[in-house]
Amino acid sequence: MSDFNQPVSGNDLARFAGLQTFMRLPVAPSADGLDVGFIGIPMDIGTSWRSGTRFGPKQLRQESAMIRPYNIQTGAAPFDSLQCADVGDISINTFSLADSLKIIEAKYDEILKHPIIPMGLGGDHSLTLPVLRAMAKKHGPVALVHVDAHADVNDEMFGERETHGTVFRRAYEEGLIKPSKVWQIGLRGTGYTAEDFTEAAGWGFNQRLASSLWHKPLDMLGKEIVASIGDQPCYITYDIDSLDPSFAPGTGTPEIGGLTTMQAMELIRNLRGLNIVGCDLVEVSPPYDTTGNTALTGANIMFEMLSILPGVKVR
Ligand code: MN
Ligand code: MN
């Protein structure tokens, strides 16, 4: 018997049976005693185009039932050394984005009193701003790996300063992140102005356009990011729309010409060594995910991020 929580095995209970938690882990009533907590943030009221990410946490949990505990290709055995559990969903106010962001921040403040790495299941990308507010209170400004088709650095959308498209401008203005230790990977598509991305480069953000990564392996980029960030506390925010819509169509603001699933795995696997203090996987929109492939991919990306957390044994 392991001292650590284990996912329910598909040989003990059929994978299509049982309560839906992330990777069939136990539910924990609080963050107490946990190294890692998966936390659902079912929200889509920060989106600007297609909605539906309110159903993301449910669908990510459902598709995660297929994932087995050992990462065969990397040798990572996260459940051999980390105490992991699903801590449930945050009770947002679906009628108020502003209120919801306050609720998310308060919930993260509470769980970050414990030495836990929260892994957020989104939800639209606006959730990352209150998470970073809580993270900065605990760790100071954090390094950031932001994988996304979009830089999410608009100033306002319809006069609103807190939306899924304004997160990283607010995080920069509020000093929640270290600009020279921000890496935005996979940017592409069309913009409102010619300077949509380059303004943030002027703040110090390191940006890689998807087109500069086409047909290339991303292992060296991962290593470059690790060398650049060093031992700084680092948050990883993974927007599923960084992937090409042929791989991940079930999302709110798809952009063609994106990363492949293989590049996503190469990138994350080569981020091992970062001092990761939290992660999220956002923008999975099940109503547009008719095959379940987007949520399946998102759940596996979550597992890849789990596999590189500090303290994970590699066999
Ligand atoms: Mn985004
Ligand atoms: Mn995006």
Q: Which ligand is nearest the CA of 254, by number?
A: 2
- Domain 35-314 CATH class label: alpha beta
Measured in angstroms, how far is the CA atom of residue 21 from the centroid of ligand 2? Answer: 26
Q: Where are the domains of the chain?
A: 35-314
pLDDT in tens, 104-116: 999 999 999 999 9
- Cα(267) to ligand 1 centroid in Å equals 18
Label each residue of the chain as H, E or C.
CCCCCCCCCCCCCCCCCCCCCHHHCCECCCCCCCCEEEEEECCCCCCCCCCCHHHHHHHHHHHHCCCCCCECCCCEEHHHCCCEEEEEECCCCCCCHHHHHHHHHHHHHHHCCCCCEEEEEECCHHHHHHHHHHHHHHHCCEEEEEECCCCCCCCCECCECCCCCCHHHHHHHCCCEEEEEEEEEEECCCCCCCCCCHHHHHHCCEEEEHHHCCCCCCHHHHHHHHHHHCCCEEEEEEEHHHECCCCCCCECCCCCCCECHHHHHHHHHCCCCCEEEEEEEECECHHHCCCCHHHHHHHHHHHHHHCCCCCCEEC
- 239 annotated as belonging to a binding site for a ligand: yes
Tens of pLDDT, residues 18-68 = 999 999 999 999 999 999 999 999 999 999 999 999 999 999 999 999 999
Per-residue pLDDT band for 198 (boundaries 50, 70, 90) equals confident
pTM of the entire structure? Answer: 0.98
Residue 1 is predicted with a pLDDT of 66
pLDDT, tens only, 109-138? 999 999 999 999 999 999 999 999 999 999
| 152 assigned binding-site residue | yes
